[in-house]
């Protein structure tokens, strides 16, 4: 049976549902993120938990554009909830790259799930950017806080942490995807993935 490669109404609805499931995972963990330590756990916990809905999403829709649309929607949501436009900018890029990786496996390669998922998740990293970067601009904007404050902050949130967070995001995404593949092996076989 040869299905059309274009997204139809049903696919768009599925994209919405699975993006919602994915976002619920993000949201539940982000609630923990209200305490600062939880914020850092975002890149550890979300990739582990959200791997299940995401893998099932990849099993279900399998048409060009799916990941790109999901990524844009998540970026818009981040803008709407007040996390800034960074996530939107980054998610457009990660969405395209994840889409290309997934496409290179012809939308059915089990081996491509982990790299696709790792790249897709990188949008999260954008939420940290305003906390670690652009300190200088922000310091200039708030001179009344004093020099000690900025020095203490600089030691607590050094820019190299960003690299650690990005690597953590990738590593835990891959772990999450491997686990999801194990749990969902039967479903993926049934869906004809290889």
Partner 1 sequence: MVDESRTYKMSVRKALLDPRTKLLLLVLLALFCLAGVGGAKLAPFRACLAALPFVLMLIDKRTVRGFVLLAAVVASEAYIMFAFTGQGGFLEGFMLVTTFIVVRLAPCLMMGSYTMDTTSVSEFSAAMNRMHVPSAVTIPFSVMFRFFPTIKENAANLHDSMVMRGIGGANLGKFVEYRLVPLVEVTSRSGDELSASALVRGLGAPVRRTDIARIGFGAGDAIVMLVLAAALAGSLLLPWEAWV
Token pair recorded at residue 49: 């938990």
Instruction: Scan residues 18-57 and list those touching partner 1 (CB under 8 A).
Output: 18-21, 23-24, 35-36, 39, 48-49, 52-53, 56
Stretch that binds partner 1, among 16-24, 100-108, 112-120, 166-174 (CB under 8 A): 16-24
178 makes contact with partner 1 (CB under 8 A): no
69 makes contact with partner 1 (CB under 8 A): yes
* Region label for 63, one of left (φ > 0), alpha (ψ between -120 and 50) or beta (otherwise): beta
Query: How far apart, in whole angstroms, are the C-alpha atoms of residue 81 and residue 76?
Result: 9
179 makes contact with partner 1 (CB under 8 A): yes
Looking at beta carbons only, is 166 or 175 nearer to partner 1?
A: 175
CA torsion angle 105 170 64 74 (round to 10): 170
Provide the mask over 127-166, with x wherever binding to partner 1 is found by CB under 8 A and - wherever it is not: ---xx--x--xxxxxxxxx--xx-xxx--xx---------
Query: Over 15-81, what HEC string results?
Result: HHHHHHHHHHHHHHHHHHCCCHHHHHHHHHHHHHHHHHHHHHHHHHCCCCCHHHHHHHHHHHHHHHC
Task: State the nearest-atom distance from the C-beta of 115 to partner 1, in Å.
Answer: 21
Which of 41, 44, 83, 178 lies at the binding interface for partner 1 (CB under 8 A)?
A: 83
Under 8 Å between Cβ of 95 and 67: yes
Looking at beta carbons only, is 82 or 192 nearer to partner 1?
A: 82
Number of residues in contact with partner 1 under rule CB under 8 A = 61
């Amino acid at each position: 049976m040869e299905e059309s490669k274009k997204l139809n109404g049903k696919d768009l609805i599925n994209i919405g549902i699975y993006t919602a499931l994915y976002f619920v995972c993000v949201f539940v963990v982000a609630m923990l993120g209200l305490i600062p330590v939880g914020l850092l756990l975002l890149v550890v916990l979300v990739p582990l938990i959200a791997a299940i809905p995401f893998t099932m999403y990849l099993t279900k829709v399998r048409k060009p554009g799916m990941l790109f649309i999901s990524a844009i929607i998540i970026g818009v949501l981040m803008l709407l909830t007040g996390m800034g436009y960074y996530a939107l900018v980054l998610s457009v890029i990660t969405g395209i790259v994840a889409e290309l990786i997934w496409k290179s496996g012809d939308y059915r390669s089990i081996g491509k799930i982990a790299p696709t998922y790792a790249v897709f998740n990188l949008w999260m990293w954008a939420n940290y950017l305003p906390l670690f970067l652009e300190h200088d601009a922000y310091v200039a904007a708030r001179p009344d806080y004093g020099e000690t404050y900025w020095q203490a902050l600089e030691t607590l949130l050094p820019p190299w942490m960003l690299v650690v967070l990005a690597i953590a995001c990738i590593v835990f995404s891959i772990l999450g995807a491997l686990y999801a593949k194990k749990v969902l092996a039967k479903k993926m076989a049934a869906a004809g993935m290889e």
